[in-house]
Amino acid sequence: MSQYYNPKKTRNLYTPNSQFPFRVSRSKVDLFLNCPRCFYLDVKLGVGQPPGYPFTLNSAVDKLLKREFDIHRAKGTPHPLMKSYGLDAVPLLHEKMNQWRDALGGGITFVHKETNFYLTGGVDDVWVNPQGEFIIVDYKATAKDGEVNIDAEWQISYKRQMEFYQWLFRKNSYPVSEIGYFVYCNGHTDREAFDAKLEFGIKLIPYKGDDSWVEPTIFDIHHCLNKPAIPLPGPDCDFCKYRQAVRDVER
C-alpha cells in the first residue's frame, strides 16, 4: 500500500479566491461531515488519510451488476429484480450513462457558483419510471447473517451518498424521483462447501431521500476552507484519536 500513498500532496489543493472552480467529490463531502480536521488537512494542506485496502470482491459484484442491468438497458426491459419487487421501471438508456458512472474521469457534475466548487459524483446506476423520473440506484455488497438493511448508524454515509447524487441530478435539471434504491447483495456463508463459487441473495431496498442538507454543507465546506486555522476533529474520528494518542506518548 505504501507505494501508492503520498503523505504530502502538492497538487489539486484548495486556494482561496482562485478563479478556477475547485473540484469537490462526493467522498470529500462525506469526509468533511465525518471530520472537518481530516478534510482540511487533506484538501487544503495536502496531508490525506492513508487509504484503505481496495474492496476487490465488492468491485467485482459492482461490475457484474452493471453488465447485467446493461442487458436490460439495451432492450428497454425491466430487470427481474424490479419485477419481483413490483417496481415499474427500466434501466435508463442515456448517452451520458458511462460518463455518470465514471467517478474519476467524469461523473455527474455541477458548478456551484456561490462557492466556485466543481461538485462531482459517480453513480452506480439510474433507472427511469413511466413518469420520466430518474431513479438513483446504488449497489452494495456484504456477507452477513440475517437480512441486510440500511438502518445501522454507520450507514448514514450510504444515505448521504444517495441524496448527494439526487441533488446533483436535480441541479442538472433532470426530473428525479424522491425514492432511490439500494441493490444490496449478501453473500451466503451457510453453504456446506465453497465449491469455487460464492452465492448471493439480492435485496432491493427503497430509500426516500432528503437532499436539503447538501447546499448548506457546501457553504460550510467553503467557510471551513477559507479559515486560517485547522478546525476541530470530528467526535468519532479514529485518525484524529490515533494522532492525539501518538502525540501524548511522544511527549
Q: Is 101 within a domain?
A: yes
Q: Is 4 within a domain?
A: no
State the average pLDDT over residues 174-189: 91
Residue 54 dihedral angles phi and psi, to the nearest 5°? -70, 145
Q: Is 242 within a domain?
A: yes
- Domain count across the chain: 1
Q: Is 17 within a domain?
A: no
Q: Is 130 within a domain?
A: yes
Q: Is 66 within a domain?
A: yes
Confidence of residue 9 (pLDDT cuts 50, 70, 90): confident
The pLDDT value given to residue 186: 84
| CA–CA separation, 103 and 44 (whole Å) | 21
Q: Is 108 within a domain?
A: yes
The pLDDT value given to residue 244: 92
The identity of residue 93, as a single letter, is L
CA distances from 4 to 55, 56, 187, 239 (A): 16, 16, 30, 19
- Nearest Cα neighbor of 65 from 120, 26, 121, 123 is 123
State the average pLDDT over residues 193-218: 87
pLDDT digits (tens, 9 = 90+) for 42-64: 999 999 998 877 677 788 888 99
Pairing state between β 108-112 and 117-121: antiparallel
- How many residues in total does the chain contain? 251
Q: Write down the pTM of the prediction.
A: 0.91
94: CATH: 3.90.320
State the average pLDDT over residues 28-43: 97
H/E/C letters for each residue in 54-112? CCHHHHHHHHHHHHHHHHHHHHCCCCHHHHHCCCCCEECCCCCHHHHHCCCCCCEEEEE
Q: Is 15 within a domain?
A: no
Q: Which domain holds residue 162?
A: 22-250
